[in-house]
Every structure is written in C-alpha cells, then in structure tokens.
Chain A
Amino acid sequence: MSRTVRALIVSLVFAFAASALAQTTLSFWSWRTEDVAAYEKFIAAFHADNPDIDVTFTPYLNTEYNTILSTALQGGGGPDIVHLRAYGGMESLAQAGLLVRLDGQVAALEGFDPGVLLGATNRADGGVYGVPFALQTVQVLYNVDMFERLGLEEPTTWAELLAVGDALKASGVYAFANGTKDGWTNETLFGAVGPTFYGGTPFFQEITAGETDFTDPRFAAALERMVALRPYLADNYTGVGYTDMQTLFAFEQAGMFAAGSYELGNMAQLNPDLRIGSFAVPADDAATPSAISFYVDGSYGINANSPHQEAALRFIEFLASQEFGQMFTDELQQISAVPGTQPTSEALAGMVEMMNEQGTPYLMLTAFRFGQPSGSTLLQNEMQAVMAGDKTVADAVTNIQRGVAEWFEGFQ
C-alpha cells in the first residue's frame, strides 16, 4: 500500500470521525404512517443543505399517537420535533409549557395566513407554537369517468344532487361510498353536507361568539340534510367502516364519497387510474351560496425539553419554507399551509379554489374540541345514532348542546 493511499485513508477516517462528532440527530414523531416515504425525501432534501443535522422520522398509529406523545412529553422525554394536531389537540401541550413558542423566532411564520395560524395558536397567550403543514377541505369527491360515462354533471341544486344519486344507483353502484360504523366518519359527512345548510361562516362566527347555540334551527336543518342522504349511502351503511368506504370508492363501486381532501393521496395509492373531481354540496336553489369545511390539519413544533434547540429550529425553518411547501404538495397531494405553493394536480387545484371561495372553518374540530365532552365526540356519537334511526335530530341537538355547555364558556 503506497503512502499516499494510506494517508488518504487516514484522512478519510478522520473526516468521518469529525463529521460524526459534529452530527446532530433530531428525532421527529408523527402519526402519518402513510407518509413515511415522503418524509424520508423531505429529510434527505434538508440533509443535503444541512449535512450536520440528521432527522429520524418515527410514525405511530394514528389512534394511539396522542396518548403516546402527551405521556412522553409530560414525562420530560419525547422527540425533538413534534408533529402536532391542530386546535384543541395542541393547545393543552402548549399550555403545559411543553412546546417552544415560535412566533418571533421563525421569520417565515409572518407570511402565513392568520386564519391558518389559528390552528397552531394557544388561545391563552396568543402565541404560535407550531408551523402549520397542511390544510384539509371536506367536500364531495366524485368519480369523473363514471360521471362522464353516465352523462352526469356536478349538481348545482340539492334536487340535482339527489337526481345524480338516483342515476348512480340505477347504474348499479352506490351513490355515496359513505357508511357510519366508525364514529368519526359521521363528522366528515357532516363537514361535507352541513356548512351549506347552516350557512357557513356567519353561523360559525355567531356560535363561537356565543350569540347563538346548537339549538339554532340552522344547525338542526344541516343535520336533517345529512339524514336525508341515508337512501344514497352504501347498503348496510351502519356496518360500513372507513376502510370499506375507501375500498368502495377506489374500486368504483360508488360514484361519490363525502370525504376530506387527504383522500386524494390515499386513492392514488389504491387505484392510480381513478380520476377524482370535487364539489360543494349545493343548496336548494343555485343562487344560495354553498360552502365546504376546511381546517388546519396540524403543525410542526419543537419539544421545550429538547437538548438540540438550535438544530431543531433550523429544521423547523426548513419546514416553513416555500421549498418544503411545494415539495409537500407535490409529494403528498395535499394542500400545503405554506403561502404561495401551487398545487400541481388538477383535483387538488380545484379544492384549493373551492377553499378560497367557499371555505368555512370545520365547525366542531376548530372551535369545540377544547374540553370534554368535545363537540366532535358528541356530534359523532349522536349522529351515528340518528343515522341508524335510533334517535331523532331533535334529541341529538339537545345532547350536543348540553354536552358542549358543560365546558364552553360562550354557552354558560
């Protein structure tokens, strides 16, 4: 072995050792088990510019993530970077002092839409504790090819919607893929059907200000429309769970699916050939404006107990950057919360347009998840019973109002 080769090896070894010494590894916890591959790409892009920082992405099962995260953080442990839920889901962590306040530290946050930042704001001190990552809309998705084959068009009135449903049923598929077995999917169905009939943002502002409550006839009217769709749901819909719905819509056994924008990515995995369009549930006449729900899905935060604050902040700044926002949209087919990102897919662009023109905050998630029993828990379980025919809308309204009034100051 020549001397130069030996010198080269030695210096290489030293270089490795040196870089290993300077290397910081950030841990990053999430509930997005479906997105592992995408996050690995994002992290690789970050690592390319920041070779001294490495990030390990660890996803947990959606339904167990909250328990795992809050117990770990309360115990003084947990990851450096935290994938946070939105609204009530993150607020308790921020209030307990477990997260780093980011406004003032992350310059890019100033460019974010104030309404979007609400999803990562602690109402007690007004501080922003996370960089919002995605916006989701809830509306009706439909199978474009199936509509074309049957000569159907996006409905502009409620009667047309029902006519579209009848035509789909007559062609041998279900009108809607939706079922009610999994409680939370009832809230999604409401998020798609409700806003048009309770009157969107004006009602939202009144009820969150405590000027009206859930006994308002507009709310009951919205629930009634959900009930009116029962004949158009899948057969035995009370036994149809979330995965069944996905299967039905992806494999073209149903023409429509009241669902969140996040299904675009799921559908692309299940059946890449499926062309998906979307529309807002129309009102009785075409002149009355229709609305869809939207919400901030969650945000990225920093664990206050993390020993790597500086590195974590650099990664968070990357997550707030336009470069990341665009990558996020392209990779995951979701609406990035970073301002100025352009959705590349047609289906997603349609949703963004609807959100900008007709979007209203997703009622229970954005405003009534701050106490127990949450508006979501109440809506989900009460409407599950109503949809099964075990309860009336009036009973459901009474219980939802009573439950939220237990803790919501606006109603007390």
Chain B
Amino acid sequence: MRDVRSWWGKHGHLVLFLTPALVIYGMFMAYPLISSLTYSVYEWDGYLRRGFNGLDNFVTVLTRWPYNERFWGAISHNALFFVLTFAIQTTLGLFVAVLLARKWRGFAFFQAAYFLPHTLSLVVVGFLWRMLLNPTWGAVGQGLRRVGLGDWVQPWLGQSDTALVTIILVNAWAWLGFPILVYLAAVQAIPREFHEAAVVDGASPWQDFRHVTLPLLLPTIAMVTILTFIWDFNAFELVFVMQGASGSPSYATDLLATFFYRTAFGDPTTGGEPGQIGIAAAIGVLMLIIIGFVSAFGVRFTQRSQTEY
C-alpha cells in the first residue's frame, strides 16, 4: 500500500498529465488505425463480421478484376498527383519564395494573395472551378472565346486525358500558397552574411541560389515534400466534388481515397450497391503501408541530410 502511495506521490502528476491525451489519441486514432488492420482479414456481410479469411481481401484487391484495375489505376493517379504537385511547388513555388524574400515594396501583398486560396474549403474550390471550367458557359471558356481562342476551349474535366491534370492544377491553385510561405520563411531564416560572402566572391544571383540558398533549404524542401506526399496520397474532396465518387470520366480521376470510399460505402451515384468492408479495409491497409513506409523513409533521409551540416 505504501508502495502504491509513494509511487503515486512520485509519478501521479505524470499520470495526470498524460492520461487525457493518451485516452483520446489511443481511442480515436490509434485504435481505429490498428483495428482497420484486423478488419481487412475478415469476410464481411454488410456491417456484420463473418469468418476469418486471411489475406483473401488483399488478393482480391491486387488480382481480381475489376478491383485490381481500379487499384493500380488509382495508385498511378495518386503518384501523378504527387509528382506534378511536387514539380510545381519546387520550381514555381521555390522561385517565387526566393523572389519574395527580397521584401520589396508590395511583396507582403503578393504573399497574402498567393496564400488566400489556401483558406478556402476544397468543397468551394471544387465547385468554383467546376463552374469556371464548364465548356458551355464557364468563365474560362468564355474568356478564351472573347480573345479569339475559342478553339482552345475543351471539356477539360470530361476528357480522360485532361481531367486528372486539370484536377491536379486546381489543387495546385489551392495548395501552392502553403509551400511558398514555408519556403519563404526558410529563405528568410538564412543569415544575411552567407549571401554577402557569396556576393563578395563574385557569385551571380543564380550561383548564390545554387550554392548558398538551395543547400540550406534542402531539409525544408524534404519536409514539405513528405507532407505533400501524405496529402496527395489522401486526396479525396476535389475529385469527389468535381468528378463524383467514381472518378469520372471512366475512372480517369479515380484516386485511392475515392476507390476506398466507393468500396466501403457503395457508389452513391448508381444507387444502392452494397458496401464491402473487408475489401475496403484491405485498400485502407495498403494505403497505410504505402504512406507509412514512404514517409518514414523520407523522414530518415531528411534527418541524415540534416546532420551533414
């Protein structure tokens, strides 16, 4: 008894400090994530769990048509989503951040402007761009017609070869402000003396960027890249709002998250298909593995590169 009391006297405050966070985090985040692992190895009938069926659900997702076609399609779309977003933010985004770091007059305004779409809900972003891009009366098409470029008007969201890229660009419009801001903060954190030393050595602005700014930004770039990866492999709202749960047209914009949603809850537009929890859980676990492994690897890599200087 005394042991307990003295233990409490010594550690009671720790229990007090840690328990609420552990309970909420454990119950509403760790438990669901861990149980979705178990869901994926059972057969399900609607919301009722039936027998253990090993890796059958995974085999279904990876090998049985049409699941396999959807799965690999979705992965390749998510990958393109990430690669294009990464390319835009580390070229255009980084370039703009480096320019903004000069802090000339009016740059605060630009900085605010670039970030503004980031505050909009993706539901609003999706509806706004769906209307702007509408080929019959959308503002983009009408604008092109007014300047005599009517031939350029295309059903961007309706063609399988342009729909996904269009969605990615819309996403970039809403997202780019964030990497710009982070890069800007990182560029501004570089001590002025570093640049001054480079200028004294006769470096051009490009050389200054290449040999001073870029190396010092690498950890930040890596961190933003990992965040982008996690985000892009979870993307859902834009496609759901703009192209529906089945990634119209003909799954050309289908992502892992829309595939997961459709499998778990049925496709709402076709009305009344039963959801398949076991297969959906298997898709979720595969997403978890992809995201978990790649980001853990990314973090390791970042830490290593950070210790180098």
The reply to whether A and B meet directly (CB within 8 Å) is yes
Q: Assuming A85-B271, A92-B46, A402-B65, is B249 touching A180 (CB within 8 A)?
A: yes
In the assembled complex, which residues on chain A have CB atoms less than 8 Å from the CB atom of B270? 183-184, 369, 374, 376-377, 380
B269 touches A184 (CB 8 A): yes
**A157 at the binding interface (Cβ < 8 Å):** no
**B91 at the binding interface (Cβ < 8 Å):** no
Please, could you name 30 A-B residue pairs with CB atoms under 8 Å apart, sorted by A? Answer: A66-B268, A67-B265, A67-B275, A74-B47, A85-B272, A181-B249, A183-B248, A183-B270, A236-B154, A236-B158, A239-B154, A239-B155, A239-B157, A240-B155, A244-B136, A244-B137, A247-B136, A247-B137, A369-B271, A369-B272, A372-B276, A374-B273, A377-B246, A377-B267, A377-B270, A377-B273, A381-B246, A381-B251, A388-B160, A390-B160
**A88 at the binding interface (Cβ < 8 Å):** yes
Cα(A183)–Cα(B157), bound, Å? 12
Those of A66-99 within 8 Å (CB) of chain B? 66-67, 70-71, 74, 85, 87-90, 92, 96
Cβ of B64 to closest chain A Cβ, rounded Å: 8
Cα(A374)–Cα(B246), bound, Å? 13
Rank and list the top 5 A-B pairs by shortest CB-CB distance, nearest first: A239-B155, A89-B272, A238-B158, A239-B158, A236-B135
A385 touches B158 (CB 8 A): no
Cβ of A185 to closest chain B Cβ, rounded Å: 10
In the assembled complex, which residues on chain B have CB atoms less than 8 Å from the CB atom of A239? 133-135, 154-159
**A373 at the binding interface (Cβ < 8 Å):** yes
B272 touches A388 (CB 8 A): no
- Sorting the interface of chain B by its residue count into under 10, 10 to 19, 20 to 34 or 35 or more gives 35 or more
A384 touches B155 (CB 8 A): no
Task: Using CB atoms, name the residue of chain A closest to B246.
Answer: A183
**B298 at the binding interface (Cβ < 8 Å):** no
Cβ of A153 to closest chain B Cβ, rounded Å: 28
Question: Which single member of B66, B134, B135, B159 contacts A388 (CB below 8 Å)?
Answer: B159
B136, B246, B276 interface centre (most CB from chain A within 10 Å): B136
Those of A372-403 within 8 Å (CB) of chain B? 372-374, 376-377, 380-382, 384-385, 388, 390-391, 399, 402-403
Interface residues of A (CB under 8 A from B): 62-67, 70-71, 74, 85, 87-90, 92, 96, 179-184, 234-241, 244, 247-248, 369, 371-374, 376-377, 380-382, 384-385, 388, 390-391, 399, 402-403
**B117 at the binding interface (Cβ < 8 Å):** no
In the assembled complex, which residues on chain B have CB atoms less than 8 Å from the CB atom of A235? 135-136
B250 touches A237 (CB 8 A): no
Cβ of A412 to closest chain B Cβ, rounded Å: 15
Task: Using CB atoms, name the residue of chain A closest to B248.
Answer: A183
In the assembled complex, which residues on chain B have CB atoms less than 8 Å from the CB atom of A390? 160, 250
Cβ of A178 to closest chain B Cβ, rounded Å: 12
Cα(A380)–Cα(B267), bound, Å? 12
Cβ of B241 to closest chain A Cβ, rounded Å: 11
In the assembled complex, which residues on chain A have CB atoms less than 8 Å from the CB atom of B143? none
Cα(A183)–Cα(B245), bound, Å? 10
In the assembled complex, which residues on chain A have CB atoms less than 8 Å from the CB atom of B248? 181-183, 384
Cα(A46)–Cα(B158), bound, Å? 46
Q: Assuming A184-B269, A240-B158, A377-B267, is B136 touching A384 (CB within 8 A)?
A: no
**B274 at the binding interface (Cβ < 8 Å):** yes
Which applies to chain B's interface (DSSP): helix, strand, loop or mixed?
Answer: loop
Cα(A70)–Cα(B269), bound, Å? 15
Cβ of B49 to closest chain A Cβ, rounded Å: 13
A369 touches B268 (CB 8 A): no
> 1/0 contact trace for B211-247 toward A, CB 8 Å?
0000000000000000000000000000000001110
Q: Assuming A180-B249, A236-B153, A388-B249, is B273 touching A403 (CB within 8 A)?
A: no
A381 touches B250 (CB 8 A): yes
B271 touches A66 (CB 8 A): yes
Cα(A90)–Cα(B272), bound, Å? 7
In the assembled complex, which residues on chain A have CB atoms less than 8 Å from the CB atom of B251? 381
Task: Using CB atoms, name the residue of chain B closest to A65.
Answer: B268
Those of B153-193 within 8 Å (CB) of chain A? 153-160
In the assembled complex, which residues on chain A have CB atoms less than 8 Å from the CB atom of B158? 179-181, 236-240, 388
Cβ of B272 to closest chain A Cβ, rounded Å: 3
B46 touches A74 (CB 8 A): yes
A88 touches B272 (CB 8 A): yes
B268 touches A372 (CB 8 A): no
In the assembled complex, which residues on chain B have CB atoms less than 8 Å from the CB atom of A402? 65
> 1/0 contact trace for B132-149 toward A, CB 8 Å?
011111000000000000
A372 touches B273 (CB 8 A): yes
> 1/0 contact trace for B60-71 toward A, CB 8 Å?
000001100000
B249 touches A385 (CB 8 A): yes
In the assembled complex, which residues on chain A have CB atoms less than 8 Å from the CB atom of B137? 244, 247
Cα(A235)–Cα(B153), bound, Å? 10
In the assembled complex, which residues on chain A have CB atoms less than 8 Å from the CB atom of B47? 71, 74
Cα(A377)–Cα(B245), bound, Å? 11
Q: Assuming A90-B272, A236-B135, A390-B250, is B265 touching A181 (CB within 8 A)?
A: no
Cα(A62)–Cα(B268), bound, Å? 8
Known contacts A66-B266, A67-B265; 9 further A-B pairs (Cβ under 8 A): A87-B272, A184-B269, A235-B135, A236-B136, A236-B153, A239-B133, A239-B154, A380-B246, A388-B159
Cβ of A389 to closest chain B Cβ, rounded Å: 9
Cα(A235)–Cα(B134), bound, Å? 11
A240 touches B135 (CB 8 A): yes
A238 touches B155 (CB 8 A): yes
Cα(A27)–Cα(B248), bound, Å? 35
> 1/0 contact trace for B94-137 toward A, CB 8 Å?
00000000000000000000000000000000000010011111
A384 touches B153 (CB 8 A): no
Cα(A341)–Cα(B159), bound, Å? 45
In the assembled complex, which residues on chain B have CB atoms less than 8 Å from the CB atom of A238? 155, 158-159, 249
